[in-house]
Structure 1
């Protein structure tokens, strides 16, 4: 809605009314004023419904002037301040309204909305979400069939990733009346809990809504907020199975909204000098210097850089979790800075003053992302690494990938220019950190091949599953009666797993053939792959670190790559490793590979023996070679940046993709 344009006199009068103490005998002393206020409120509502916000505002102020304790008038004024963007005044008026009448359901909703908007600008440890919930739940008790409150609660459940609750509440809301907020919350929730056959699911409507909202936000970011996108860019990339051009559009829109008030640093503040023995200063910024998959995979990289060529600086946007991985990062980076208490602009300033030549953004749209830091242009070269989709940001120059994960024909799916690593872009530290798991599980695997049971595993987060993939698995299991399927427990407990077991029964697969694996420590997780026959990869989002774990444990992975980057990562792992016989061309081929492999125990043994040998020979698990390739990539990026800065003809030429070839090529 548009901002209010009421006169300053009316505005000050409205604020002054808040300072008046409640009148103990207002009903008797000012009965005429309060009767007149009822009429004024009614006229204000009529004016507002016709689009006359200024007229409505003046009538409401007049109503409160005549009857200072008129709860409805105060509540309407609070709402008008809220839609005008004056949240502090809105909060005061709504609180005063509820002081005089605590049964006003709409005032509870609006106060909850105002406080929710306040929390969204705070760090998650500082926000008072309990109070927001108290407002919404009070409104819900007053009127459980009111669409505004049910839609708001569904959205809040989704924001907190309470997906089962979000699905339930959004369904209740949609049954009352369709709202976009409830629909968006529902569609997010359904894929997260594998509720694919929900009667209100509508994928075509979702695509239409996402396109319209993203387009509008991209054209007018100053009039939009991220919650208006329906799906954020992370959900669009990882949870929903959306077309890649739509994923790019949503990422661009989210970045436009986030960057709308940011003024990038002038290039004069950038360091273009190579100091201290011509070393490049490469700064990594992340919220996952902790016991997190990022550090589990990248722990050897920070300590392994060539100190004579690269000066590594790490900026942590979250406080220490006390884990050994956090301590490893603090020791491994030549400079480690905790910036968790700084806002984005201060973090960018610290990165810039550190003399950073290349800023490596390890956020993407993962949890704890702070992409606005890069928008301040803290360094002359800024790259996206690890996030498996485009950032949509004009402030990220290069996206690190490889030729299998991001084929050149698909470069139009990225806002950044591509920087191709010679092997997989996905670094791992398994030789350094998990050597024992590789040896023990490879040896145990040899003893398992004589057993008759076929045990499939797909230890991915359940949001990566989809209905077509699951149906394919069930068809394979029907053809192999001795087979079982092990899936990871859902993030909210066993409800999603129970739902999948029910789906399986529709295909004639009994529940006892559906096994749930509980979360365990990383070392135990890798070692338990010794119990499985074959790892089944997912399609809309392929395995990343999970596929690396499986391969390292000597367990083959069957992969069907799709179009988007996030659906091709495991394909690149197999290609680099040299196990391309497990790469499927289509669904039929995917099923044939699985069935042929499981039908022949000799083939299983030969494949595992070969896989174990390749683990030592392939560059996939050679972290030090990966680091050398990354350092050559960083130097190429820097040479391009400095040449474009000093050479006018180079500056006028169009930027280009970078290809880092393997050594010796």
Structure 2
């Protein structure tokens, strides 16, 4: 038998027969480079990538200048998740054969997987120059620009790709996401609407329904909302991947629908590894190793809430590590966080497998995910099971529907016992609010008048600082009725896009409310925002997604907050916070009760003044802002979960008792 016969068998798909011939040749010491190379190709065809890598490396020892071997070695490494080795192989190929499109493009993919978006972009640039009509090069170049927050360039890349393949579903989805991230929500809505009209009922384009609802919500465009929601619910029931889990949280959905969407998302995008990476349980007596993984260690709402918890962890009992998934933003908060941990691991240039391996090598016992399905979070790292116990905490207000998440940190108000079945995780119940707070947060000082904030001096000021996409027509209309009934009042909102502000002003005018009675606030640093909150009279919450960080901000500033309690985790947070602050009476159980309470407070100045005084007095002693006790409760929950694990018991719901109870 000869090498030629093996090559013929390979081309005919007779891989077993070809392998036998090739192994005989190797045994005889013949055609060492070519035989190993062909064995590597066969292993790749049969998805045995470790064997492919071994054979191709053997081939290169005999023929280090084989372009084919370098290329297919890179491909095998890429498909097995060894992105660094893949980049090295493609780089070696380019040294031997510059200006090779496939090598430039695939090196870009490997670098992108390693978090090296700037280097990846340079290779995608060269790939596009070498082959201007290569669809995949334009699309992946767009992905690199997106990672670098180069939104204008990202959109140009996707538009070039659309000119080549205008109906490609993944491209349309990426383009819509990029339009939203560039805050071009109206354009995104048009894209999704056109996609739904051009591909009616096609499951490959089901994502456009959720995208349309999200993009329209972000600009307060509530046309045809009920009909679109009914169609979205049909898609959810049919197990179509029609919306991102986080986007569903802002829509009027049920806990059961959120669980169904999250489970489907986890199954399709983050399959759990068959074997965990983590080591066996360690010996007793060592400190419990807790790792927090996040892309938001910096100027972000999550960090503003939890920074003091990291600082207050009991270092005699806990060793605390940060795994950062994003490059430093250079902020004062980032510097504070880097000091707060025993170890701060910068993983933004590590692949998912490398990050997971680093976590396993550190011997992390409990890995706490602060991202969920939010921007730049990496559930794929947790899917590799790098730690014995893995928890979801704080940032994603709902279930992840993922088998690799053991616990969800919550409280009894957020998830009543009867609602546990709506969550794939076991619940780790803290005794007060699940949300931490930073009792060391700073409020700006100095003179600040209503005129400085664009507010009329003598008006009653209602406010809401939630992101615009959380607003619904039903609650905005309640606010308009309050404006109509409280003479001289204004509504102070977080500013948004031009379309968002225009649509709200037009809706107000249609209800007989002058547009100037809506005041839009620009972005401000946290300390300045906390100071300006004191200028308002009453904070109005909304459903289906309550105020979370913004609720704590209001209560810290002594600003009364009226909320309405919903069914979902995201719709119950403000009620949880009000209870922990000592003001459960401000969490109403229906929109009608919510409207009545807001009106009563706005038209009874002595009652409102007394409430403000009570809030100010409570700040120093209420559970919501007692970060030291909160941290002890959280640690007790970690310890209880770990003890179950050490006893080889499966995760189970844990109720942490209040200290001193």
Shared topology, TM-score over 0.5?
A: yes
2:142 is the counterpart of 1:158: no
For the 8 Å contact 1:404–1:568, the answer to whether it is kept is yes
Q: 1:175 to 1:374 in 2, by over 3 A?
A: closer
The equivalent position to 2:369 in structure 1, one of 361, 371, 375, is 361
Deviation of the 1:300 alpha carbon: 0.8
Matching of residues 108-119 of structure 1 within 5 Å: 111-112=134-135, 115-116=138-139
Deviation of the 1:315 alpha carbon: 0.8
What is residue 266 of structure 2 aligned with on the other side? Answer: 255
Gaps spanning 5+ residues in structure 2: where?
A: 1-8, 14-78, 80-100, 107-130, 451-455
Deviation of the 1:133 alpha carbon: 3.5
Q: 1:371 to 1:266 in 2, by over 3 A?
A: closer
Q: 1:155 to 1:196 in 2, by over 3 A?
A: farther
Instruction: Give, in whole Å, the separation in 2 of the partners of 1:137 and 1:122.
Output: 14
What is residue 409 of structure 2 aligned with on the other side? Answer: 400
For the 8 Å contact 1:400–1:418, the answer to whether it is kept is yes
Matching of residues 367-386 of structure 1 within 5 Å: 367-386=375-394
What is residue 453 of structure 2 aligned with on the other side? Answer: none
Deviations 1:271-300 (A, max 9, x none): 43245xx31111111111111111111111
Q: 1:469 to 1:200 in 2, by over 3 A?
A: closer
For the 8 Å contact 2:409–2:428, the answer to whether it is kept is yes
2:506 is the counterpart of 1:495: no
Instruction: Give, in whole Å, the separation in 1 of the partners of 2:12 and 2:487.
Output: 77
Deviations 1:331-387 (A, max 9, x none): 110111111111111111111111211111111111111011111111111111112
SS in 2 for 1:356: coil
Deviations 1:406-460 (A, max 9, x none): 111111111000010011110010x2122667x999x99xxxxx97521100001
What is residue 273 of structure 1 aligned with on the other side? Answer: 283
2:426 is the counterpart of 1:413: no
SS in 1 for 2:539: strand
What is residue 148 of structure 1 aligned with on the other side? Answer: 167
2:341 is the counterpart of 1:330: no
Q: 1:10 to 1:538 in 2, by over 3 A?
A: farther
The equivalent position to 1:233 in structure 2, one of 213, 227, 245, is 245
The equivalent position to 1:462 in structure 2, one of 461, 468, 491, is 468
For the 8 Å contact 1:527–1:553, the answer to whether it is kept is yes
Q: 1:321 to 1:210 in 2, by over 3 A?
A: same
2:398 is the counterpart of 1:389: yes
Deviation of the 1:230 alpha carbon: 2.5
Deviations 1:174-207 (A, max 9, x none): 5666463544432231122211014896211111
Q: 1:289 to 1:270 in 2, by over 3 A?
A: farther
What is residue 509 of structure 2 aligned with on the other side? Answer: 505
Deviations 1:90-140 (A, max 9, x none): x99xxxxxxxxxxxxxxx999546753686699823999947734635865
What is residue 221 of structure 2 aligned with on the other side? Answer: 195
Instruction: Give, in whole Å, the separation in 2 of the partners of 1:126 and 1:522.
Output: 23
Q: 1:306 to 1:137 in 2, by over 3 A?
A: same
Instruction: Give, in whole Å, the separation in 2 of the partners of 1:133 and 1:10.
Output: 43
2:155 is the counterpart of 1:124: no
Q: 1:518 to 1:306 in 2, by over 3 A?
A: same
Matching of residues 219-230 of structure 1 within 5 Å: 229-230=241-242
Matching of residues 632-647 of structure 1 within 5 Å: 632-644=636-648
For the 8 Å contact 1:147–1:176, the answer to whether it is kept is no
Instruction: Give, in whole Å, the separation in 1 of the partners of 2:489 and 2:223.
Output: 25
The equivalent position to 1:167 in structure 2, one of 177, 189, 200, is 189
2:348 is the counterpart of 1:340: yes
SS in 2 for 1:432: coil
Instruction: Give, in whole Å, the separation in 2 of the partners of 1:577 and 1:627.
Output: 16
Instruction: Give, in whole Å, the separation in 1 of the partners of 2:359 and 2:372.
Output: 18
Gaps spanning 5+ residues in structure 1: where?
A: 1-6, 12-84, 93-107, 215-228, 445-449, 645-650
For the 8 Å contact 1:472–1:591, the answer to whether it is kept is yes
What is residue 91 of structure 2 aligned with on the other side? Answer: none
2:652 is the counterpart of 1:656: yes
Number of matched residues?
A: 529
What is residue 425 of structure 1 aligned with on the other side? Answer: 434
TM-score, normalising length: structure 2: 0.74
The equivalent position to 1:562 in structure 2, one of 559, 566, 571, is 566
RMSD value, Cα? 3.3
2:212 is the counterpart of 1:186: yes
What is residue 479 of structure 1 aligned with on the other side? Answer: 485
Instruction: Give, in whole Å, the separation in 2 of the partners of 1:412 and 1:110.
Output: 51
Deviation of the 1:496 alpha carbon: 0.2
TM-score, normalising length: structure 1: 0.73
Comparing 450-459 with 416-425, greater Cα deviation is found at 450-459
SS in 2 for 1:157: helix
For the 8 Å contact 2:290–2:321, the answer to whether it is kept is yes
Q: 1:663 to 1:466 in 2, by over 3 A?
A: same
Q: 1:282 to 1:495 in 2, by over 3 A?
A: same
Instruction: Give, in whole Å, the separation in 2 of the partners of 1:139 and 1:383.
Output: 40
The equivalent position to 2:308 in structure 1, one of 278, 283, 300, is 300
2:555 is the counterpart of 1:551: yes
Deviation of the 1:638 alpha carbon: 0.9
